Amino acid sequence: MKFSQYDFHRSLLANLELLGFKKPTDIQFKAIPSILKGEDVLAIAQTGTGKTAAFAIPIIQKLLSRKRRHDNQIRCLVMVPTRELALQITSVFHQLTVGTDIIALSTYGGVSQDLQKEELQYGVDIVVSTPGRMFDLNHQGDLQLDEIEYLILDEADKMLAKGFYKDIEDVVRKIPKRHQTLFFSATINKEIKDLAYSLVRNPIRIQLSPKDPVSKNITHAVASIAMDDKRFFLERYLLDHADQKIMVFVRTKVRAERVQLAMQRVGIEANVIHGGKEQEERESALDRFRNGEVKVLIATDVSARGIDIQGIETVINYDLPEIAENYVHRIGRTGRGREKGYALAFCDESEIPLLRAIEDYIGKSIQSIPVSKTDTQFVRLTTDEKKNDWQKLLDDAAVEAAAFLKKSKRKKKK
């Protein structure tokens, strides 16, 4: 079935055509009818399969079919765990509502409230928000929740698992009892599912590819590389694929800065995005990466969700994530929609337990790429070690590796 065959508002159909939306993806095809019927939905699908449009399209159609009762009525609240995700979802709403009177606004911390308050005063249909800023604006009387008709939790597992459950309960108490609730996520477990079910009436569960949460569009592999050698291999890979748009994930903010510095020393420009950056810096880094001005973006897990940038050919897990499901979200930045993607992980000996946890989570082994001593020696020899003061960087890496190993042993004892 094509989108042109749906009984949608003409402006929505025109925007879908303009954006190149020909046929719905699997998650869109399954979720849209249930949402249009007014059913509560719990949807789990691989990242990059069009989850945002799966709820944005039917919600816009429902809003267009019935006007606001008054100028200050907020009808739809979308709660998200990160600023980046708030901006990305709002962008989708903006693209799909061109030529209509539907207004969407993102609210999040890290920036002044003044502009957000001003826009709320003019009247907004859809608010996409992180919990903290949403509650601040609500307590100050600028964001009213008493007429919400649709509550959406995107990345629901993150929202419920990371301490936002009480916030969600508070929201549910504040909004009208008669509302529609939608949960969307790439990953979910039984505990989180039970929490989600406790917040809704009769949810319709829509689950796609439950056995393998990794998109079939992504080829992923792992290489055994010692912590001290990771910078060498990253440099070599980036130089060999200089024409590609590549995202590199690391474990901490400090490591993100160190890896960026290491790449700069060998003439590779890379931007960094993590929770310690000001919002303006984060948005600037994303924009430069999005438009191809900078080909490499180094990020922590704060950016594993919510970044929907076309044309990311490769994701490199410079460090393996400590939470297995974050691996799925990380590599989901590539191979989005109908695009093909490649994901490569560097695995130090101390990270093998993390690798095993990831393989257990996705239900299969990750293809291993053999790396011989000869390969390592070659990569080391083809980098300008003395000129770029690699020894100091290696010393820093060794200290950090030892700290990580010590931390891992403490966890094991517990």
Q: Which residues have C-beta within 8 Å of that of residue 330, sequence separation ≥ 6?
A: 249, 301, 304, 315, 317, 321, 343
377 and 263, same domain (yes or no): yes
Rounded to 5 degrees, φ, ψ at 251 are -85, -35
182 and 254, same domain (yes or no): no
41 and 182, same domain (yes or no): yes
Boundary-marking domain end, from 168, 186, 207: 207
Q: Sort residue 209 into left (φ over 0), alpha (ψ -120 to 50) or beta.
A: left
224 and 338, same domain (yes or no): yes
373 and 230, same domain (yes or no): yes
Average pLDDT, the chain: 84
Using 50, 70 and 90 to split pLDDT, how confident is the model at 281?
Answer: confident
Cβ atoms of 301 and 328 closer than 8 Å = no
Q: Which residues of 139-151 are buried (b: 16+ CB within 10 A; e: fewer)?
A: eeebbbbeebbbb
170 and 312, same domain (yes or no): no
Q: How many domains, in total, are found in the chain?
A: 2
What per-residue confidence (pLDDT) applies to 387? 44
191 and 232, same domain (yes or no): no
271 and 184, same domain (yes or no): no
Using 50, 70 and 90 to split pLDDT, how confident is the model at 390?
Answer: very low
- Please count the helices (runs of H) and the strands (runs of E) in the chain: 16, 14
Query: Could you give the CA distance from residue 335 to residue 116 in angstroms, rounded to a whole number?
Result: 34
Question: Does residue 212 lie within any of the structural domains?
Answer: no
What per-residue confidence (pLDDT) applies to 325? 80
Distances (CA, A) of 71 to 42, 88, 135, 142: 31, 25, 21, 13
Query: Could you give the CA distance from residue 19 to residue 310 in angstroms, rounded to a whole number?
Result: 13
Q: Which two tokens stand for residue 247?
A: 């995202």
253 and 165, same domain (yes or no): no
CA dihedral 308, 309, 313, 319 (to 10 degrees): -60
| Model pTM above 0.75 | no
What does the chain come to in residues?
Answer: 414
What per-residue confidence (pLDDT) applies to 410? 60
Rounded to 5 degrees, φ, ψ at 398 are -65, -40
Q: For 19-49, how does the pLDDT look when each residue is reduced to its tens digit (9 = 90+)?
A: 989 999 888 999 999 999 999 998 887 667 7
Question: Does residue 213 lie within any of the structural domains?
Answer: no
Helix (H, G, I), strand (E, B) or coil at 346: strand
Q: What is the DSSP letter of 44?
A: E
Q: Which two tokens stand for residue 368?
A: 């291993």
Question: Does residue 372 lie within any of the structural domains?
Answer: yes
Helix (H, G, I), strand (E, B) or coil at 288: helix
196 and 279, same domain (yes or no): no
**CATH number of the domain residue 88 falls in:** 3.40.50.300
231 and 347, same domain (yes or no): yes
Using 50, 70 and 90 to split pLDDT, how confident is the model at 385?
Answer: very low
Helical segments of 269-319, H only: 279-290
Q: For 68-120, how does the pLDDT look when each residue is reduced to its tens digit (9 = 90+)?
A: 777 778 999 999 988 888 988 999 999 999 999 999 999 998 788 999 999 99
Residue ranges making up the domain that contains 359: 218-413
Boundary-marking domain end, from 207, 235, 261: 207
Boundary-marking domain end, from 173, 207, 241: 207
Question: What 3 state SS string does 88-138 have?
Answer: HHHHHHHHHCCCCCCCEEEECCCCCCHHHHHHHHHCCCEEEECHHHHHHHH
202 and 226, same domain (yes or no): no
